[in-house]
Each structure stands twice: as structure tokens, then as C-alpha cells.
């Protein structure tokens, strides 16, 4: 079936976090994500989410840069073009470099529209096989060790199968040791978000000491553009290194694996520019027997549903960052809400597309800016 987009609407939506979240670089208490509604000439629609952060601390893109790239480049390239498959839609913006978060948002909308109008579950169209995905939580840095113990206890009690802790220099070993002592068997990992450097001897000795803690992995200890130093570090550590910020394309993944810079890869749909590239990284890792898991950006329900779908592929053998919506937000913008039951989330095989429906009323209630782009003209309005 061919599609030709008649209009694309952007909604800049703000949701407050239930609890502020701190990483090695910054703290946030709410998120602004861009929700994307694409409609084709027949009236069929699909939703996507651009999960860019408002700030350039995780990567160089921001909400505002994504809005600009979507409005001025990606959407005008796509509007009015006829396509049969989301990969064909994505080819209309192949001249645009980088800006993967913006691309991912629009590509997810195309996948949703494509599978929804074909009556197919997105997970099925992507080649998924799992009926449920194992869910994990990612916990921010707490001001005290007692604070993190309280957080871990809460989510272990709820049945989450993997605990990820954000760490940074000075807020690392004492926190991890305390958790490991209390829960000797829990699947535990740490995410440094590039906070360490091999030039600093204290950092190096901290990273070496992680080997005593039986961690599943240490995620992105070094700089986002440094797969060479990661290879040097991995050669010294027994703990597997997982790369996140370093992997933007399947080519990055291949180079990192060739250099032995990591033994695990975090697949993030946004960072990779969409579901198709995420699947390519999955396929490469599967051929090389490298385990993968799905990372998150505290997505609202639309982006979270895309994460659930990609996580149903067979190579996602490790629990990812995908928790129920209620872990981050009091009220999500999709129906039904995405829920975890004893650490697992059901893949919505019986429902077409993303399997969760965007609730326009709740989106509009939380919308701070809205833009309609049509094949012929565009209008902007402030909510
Ligand atoms: Mg990470």
C-alpha cells in the first residue's frame, strides 16, 4: 500500500517527572518531548516521538534543534512524496547529516502509520518474536547512599529484573558496594555517561575496582567519541563495557566490535535515528553473538511503545531500561498506559501499529507549542 503524507503536526509536550533524575552531568524534573502526528491522503495516521532532551548534555541535539530540523528539513522533504515502506520515507532525508533524534521521531510515525494501516503489529513488522520483554529500571544518582538503597528496595520489591545505577566520580564505588552488599544476586549495572577519563589515575583505579562487584556491565565510562580508549580499558577490565553514546549508526557498532571496545551494545532507537537502524545494529550483534538491550530517554508512551516493539526482537537478551510509564510519570499520553507486571511488559501483538493510542486530549492539555505542516502550507500556534 502506498502512502503520501498530507500533513504532519508537531506537539511540544511537557510532562513533570514523579521524581527528579540526576546523571553524572545534570538533574531534571520534567521532560519536553516532541510528539509527531503524521496523516496520509486517506486520513490514516501514525504517531512518533522525538525524545531529545531540552539540554545538550546527553548528545548535541536538543528539543529546539530537533524542532528546527523537523520543521525546516525532514518534514518538507517528506510531505507529498509517495512511499511504500518507512525505509523509503527515510530516504527522503538521507542528505541531512546527524540529527538522529529528530529523524527517529518522524521515522517512528511512518512505521506506526505503515503498520496501523496494514493492520499489523509493529513488533511483528520488525521481526519481533517475544510475547513479553524483561524490564529494568535506571536509577539516577541520589544525594546519599541511604537514598539509593531506598530506591533499589522499591524497584526490587516491584519485581524489576535489573537495576541500573547512574554513577559519576565520587558518587560511584560506595553507592555500588552498598547495593551489592544488600542484594548480592540482583542483576546490577552502572552507567557513567562518559564521566571518566583514562588520563586521570583515580578514575582508572575506580574503574578497575568495579571488577569486584560482579556487575553485568559498565555503560559508557569514557568519552562519547572515544572507541579507542574504550578498547584499551576493556582489555584491562573483566567487567564488560557496554557502549551507548558512542554508537550512532550500524557502522559505529561494527567498528566498536572490530576494535573490541565493548562486549555489549545499548540500542537506543532515538540515538540511532529510528527503528530500522536499531534493527540493523541488532542484526549485526546477533551475527556476532553480542548481547544487546534497549536503552531509554524517559520516553512518553509513544516512544516507549516503539522501544517495547524493538525489544521484542530475539537478540534483546538482556533486560533494558524500559519500565512502566508510571515509574516516571503520573499520567502518560497513551491508552492503555504501558505497565510492567513483575518486571515484564507485554508486547501488544493483538493491536496494530505501536499498539498504544495517543490521547489527543491529554497531549493538548500538556502541549506548550503546536505546529501544523501541510503539503501546501503551514501554520504555527502557541497553546
Ligand atoms: Mg546510557
Q: How far is the CA of 369 from the centre of ligand 1 (A)?
A: 29
pLDDT at 140: 93
Question: pLDDT tens, 265-324?
Answer: 999 999 999 999 999 999 999 999 999 999 999 999 999 999 999 999 999 999 999 988
Is residue 23 predicted with pLDDT exceeding 90? no
Q: How far is the CA of 316 from the centre of ligand 1 (A)?
A: 16
Provide mean pLDDT across the span 8-17: 97
**C-alpha dihedral (299, 253, 89, 64), degrees to nearest 10:** 40
Q: 3-state DSSP call for residue 117? A: helix
The CA 96 to ligand 1 mean position distance, Å, reads 25
**DSSP characters for 219-237?**
E--S-TT-HHHHHHHHHH-
Reported as a pLDDT band with limits 50, 70 and 90, residue 171 is very high
pLDDT for 379 equals 54
Query: Does residue 382 register a pLDDT over 70?
Result: no
Residue positions annotated with a catalytic role: 166, 268
The mean predicted confidence, pLDDT, of the chain is 95
* Per-residue confidence (pLDDT) for residue 210, from 0 to 100: 96
Give the separation between CA 249 and CA 1, rounded to whole angstroms. 29
The total number of residues shown for the chain amounts to 383
Query: Could you tell me the distance, in angstroms and rounded to a whole number, from the CA of residue 374 to the centre of ligand 1?
Result: 36
Q: Which of 19-33, 184-198, 280-294, 351-365 has the lowest mean pLDDT?
A: 19-33
pTM score, whole prediction: 0.95
pLDDT at 343: 86
Cβ atoms of 74 and 102 within 8 Å: the answer is yes
Phi (first) and psi of residue 328, to 5 degrees: -105, -35
Could you tell me the domains of the chain? Answer: 3-120+359-381 (3.30.390.10), 124-357 (3.20.20.120)
C-alpha closest to that of 295 among 341, 365, 245, 339 = 245
Q: Which of 110, 83, 106, 88 has the alpha carbon at shortest distance from 3?
A: 83
Helix (H, G, I), strand (E, B) or coil at 106: helix
Position 377 confidence tier, pLDDT thresholds 50, 70, 90: low
How far, in Å, is the centroid of ligand 1 from the Cα of 142?
Answer: 17
Q: What is the CA radius of gyration of the chain?
A: 20
Nearest to 8 by CA among 113, 85, 91, 118: 113
CB 168 within 8 A of CB 174: no
* 83 pLDDT above the threshold of 70: yes
The count of other CB atoms within 10 Å of the CB of residue 146 is: 10
Question: Residue 307 and residue 296: Cα distance in Å, rounded?
Answer: 8
Whole-number Å distance, alpha carbon 100 to ligand 1 midpoint, is: 16
Tell me which DSSP letter residue 272 carries: T
| Ligand 1 midpoint to CA 295 (Å) | 7
Q: What is the distance in A from the centroid of ligand 1 to the CA of 246?
A: 10
pLDDT tens digits along 95-144: 999 999 999 999 999 999 999 999 999 999 999 999 999 988 899 999 99
pLDDT-derived band at 159 (thresholds 50, 70, 90) equals confident
DSSP 276-297: HHHHHHHHHHHHTT--EEE---
Between residues 362 and 158, the one the model is more confident about: 362
Angle at CA of residue 311, ends 310 and 317, nearest 5°? 140
pLDDT recorded at residue 287: 98
Residue 378 pLDDT greater than 90, yes or no: no
Handedness of CA 251, 254, 256, 258 (dihedral sign): negative
> What's the distance, Cα to Cα, between the start and end of the chain in Å?
35
Q: How many angstroms separate the CA atoms of 207 and 113, rounded?
A: 45
Query: Is 282 within 8 Å of 288 (Cβ atoms)?
Result: no
Ligand 1 centroid–CA 263 distance in Å is 15
Kindly give the distance from the C-alpha atom of residue 375 to the centroid of ligand 1, in angstroms, as a whole number.
38
Task: Report CA-CA distances (Å) from 144 to 69, 112, 141, 172, 382.
Answer: 40, 42, 9, 11, 41
Three-state SS at 268? coil
Ligand 1 centroid vs 219 CA: distance in angstroms?
A: 6
CA of 376 to the centre of ligand 1 (A): 40
Distance (angstroms) between ligand 1 centre and the Cα of 164 equals 9
Place of cell 510528539: 35
Amino acid at each position: 500500500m502506498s502512502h503520501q503524507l498530507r500533513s504532519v503536526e508537531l506537539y511540544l509536550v511537557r510532562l513533570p517527572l514523579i521524581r527528579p533524575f540526576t546523571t553524572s552531568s545534570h538533574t531534571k524534573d520534567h521532560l519536553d518531548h516532541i510528539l509527531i502526528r503524521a496523516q496520509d491522503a486517506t486520513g490514516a495516521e501514525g504517531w512518533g516521538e522525538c525524545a531529545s532532551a531540552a539540554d545538550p548534555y546527553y548528545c548535541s541535539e536538543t528539543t529546539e534543534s530537533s524542532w528546527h530540523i523537523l520543521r525546516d528539513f525532514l518534514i518538507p522533504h517528506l510531505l507529498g512524496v509517495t512511499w511504500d515502506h518507512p525505509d523509503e520515507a527515510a530516504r527522503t532525508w538521507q542528505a541531512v547529516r546527524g540529527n538522529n533524534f529528530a529523524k527517529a521521531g518522524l521515522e517512528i510515525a511512518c512505521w506506526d502509520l505503515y503498520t496501523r494501516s496494514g493492520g499489523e503489529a509493529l513488533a511483528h513488522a520488525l521481526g519481533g518474536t517475544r510475547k513479553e520483554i524483561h524490564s529494568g529500571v535506571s536509577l539516577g544518582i541520589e544525594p546519599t547512599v541511604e537514598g539509593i538503597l531506598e530506591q533499589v528496595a522499591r524497584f526490587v520489591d516491584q519485581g524489576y529484573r535489573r537495576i541500573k545505577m547512574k554513577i559519576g566520580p565520587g558518587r560511584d564505588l560506595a553507592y555500588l558496594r552498598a547495593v551489592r552488599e544488600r542484594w548480592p544476586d540482583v542483576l546490577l549495572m552502572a552507567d557513567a555517561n562518559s564521566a571518566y577519563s583514562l588520563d586521570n589515575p583515580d578514575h582508572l583505579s575506580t574503574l578497575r575496582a568495579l571488577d569486584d562487584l560482579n556487575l553485568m556491565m559498565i555503560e559508557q565510562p569514557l568519552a562519547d567519541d572515544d572507541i579507542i580508549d574504550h578498547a584499551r580499558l576493556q582489555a584491562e577490565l573483566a567487567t564488560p563495557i557496554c557502549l551507548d553514546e558512542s554508537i550512532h549508526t550500524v557502522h559505529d557498532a561494527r567498528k566498536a566490535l572490530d576494535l573490541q571496545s565493548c562486549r555489549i551494545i545499548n540500542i537506543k532507537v532515538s540515538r540511532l535515528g529510528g527503528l530500522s537502524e536499531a534493527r540493523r545494529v541488532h542484526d549485526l550483534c546477533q551475527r556476532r553473538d553480542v548481547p544487546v538491550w534497549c536503552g531509554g530517554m524517559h520516553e512518553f508512551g509513544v516512544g516507549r511503545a516503539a522501544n517495547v516493539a524493538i525489544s521484542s526482537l530475539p537478540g534483546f537478551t538482556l533486560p533494558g531500561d524500559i519500565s512502566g510509564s508510571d515509574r516516571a510519570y503520573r499520567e502518560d499520553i497513551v491508552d492503555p498506559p504501558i505497565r510492567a507486571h513483575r518486571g515484564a511488559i507485554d508486547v501488544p501483538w493483538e493491536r496494530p501499529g505501536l499498539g498504544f493510542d495517543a490521547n489527543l486530549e491529554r497531549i493538548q492539555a500538556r502541549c506548550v507549542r503546536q505546529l501544523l505542516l501541510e503539503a501546501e502550507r503551514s501554520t504555527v500556534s502557541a497553546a
